[in-house]
Amino acid sequence: MGFFGCHLSSSGGNLKMVETALSIGANTFAFFTRNPRGSRARPEDPQDAAAAYSLMKESGFGPLVAHGSYTMNLCTKDPESRAFAAEILEQDLRRMAALPGNYYNFHPGSHVGQGVETGIQQIVDALRSALAPKYPVTVLLETMAGKGSEIGGVFSQLRAILDGVDSDALGVCLDTCHVWDGGYDIVHDLDGVLTEFDRIIGLKRLKAIHLNDSKNEKHSRKDRHACLGEGLLGLETFRKIVRHPQLQGIPMILETPNELPGYQREISVLRMLEAE
Ligand code: FE
Ligand code: FE
Ligand code: ZN
């Protein structure tokens, strides 16, 4: 049985998220480590984390996939803002130690005109220092749509970051909407894209998947998520993904435009596709 979940609000704490996940048939979930459009984080609560952790284990959850704030740009131009982003990353990884063995995914960053090479170097520098204390968390670079000056819209850029950081604590989260919008044809050639991923990044680095349909054409570089089956990817693509032998055991997170009932419905659709 696959690990399926969705983004949940963290405002009620960790245990509340596990309970909510259970109530909608999920066995993993994602949450923002702080306000997604800002930098404020909830106060830490070790008791709540311990209770959440034991309920997760008891219920056979797969790894969680926390998400860094959208505003955290490790390769922004202004050195002070860049240092602040790196500080946020370090704090987030330290906080993830309360839920050991899970994943922390983030958007590599936007180079805002500094150039891809400079951007990648700045991301590498921030990751090297944030990963130095060796927290019990695997950090995931998300595949991006390549909107604006986003880094991570092509697999080779993620490879350059992996090479620069050179750490086993680093993996990749594949977002289905983003790779499609970035030009990878997972609709007609999922196997080909996975082969390309394996050749450039290595499938052993693939730790999580974001399941989103896309409102736009392949290579549109737009990044607009649609509900499963309501975009250009279509349910057949998700059927292939959840049943793919090379993708078993990987937590798959919905980031579709839904509230809880919609997520619950999509999770049951995924379970049906998986069992067909
Ligand atoms: Fe994301
Ligand atoms: Fe995503
Ligand atoms: Zn997106």
Q: What is the DSSP string of 95-138?
A: HHTTSTTEEEEE--EE-TTS-HHHHHHHHHHHHHHHHTT--SEE
Domain ranges of the chain: 4-275
Residue with tokens 């922004």: 76
Tokens of 220: 């549109």
Please answer whether residues 156 and 162 qualify as being in contact, where contact means their C-beta atoms are separated by less than 8 angstroms: no
Going residue by residue through the chain (276 aa), what tens digit of pLDDT does each one get?
899 999 999 999 999 999 999 999 999 999 999 887 888 888 889 999 999 999 999 999 999 999 999 999 999 999 999 999 999 999 999 999 999 999 999 999 999 999 999 999 999 999 999 999 999 999 999 999 999 999 999 999 999 999 999 999 999 999 999 999 999 999 999 999 999 999 999 999 999 999 999 999 999 999 999 999 999 999 999 999 999 999 999 999 999 999 999 999 999 999 999 998
Using the CB atoms, write b or e for 56-74: b if 16+ within 10 Å: beeeebbbbbbbbbebbbb
Q: Does domain 4-275 have CATH number 3.20.20.150?
A: yes
Radius of gyration (Cα) for the chain, nearest Å?
Answer: 18
Residue type, 160: A
Q: Give 222's contacts (C-beta < 8 A, 6+ positions apart).
A: 145, 147, 181, 214, 215, 216
Q: Cα(58) to centroid of ligand 3, in Å?
A: 32
Q: Cα(255) to centroid of ligand 1, in Å?
A: 8
Q: Cα(104) to centroid of ligand 3, in Å?
A: 16
Q: pTM score, two decimals?
A: 0.97
Beta bridge partners, 206, equal 172
Task: Return the active site residues.
Answer: 37, 67, 70, 107, 142, 175, 178, 210, 223, 225, 255
Residue 174: name the closest of 87, 252, 273 by CA.
Answer: 252
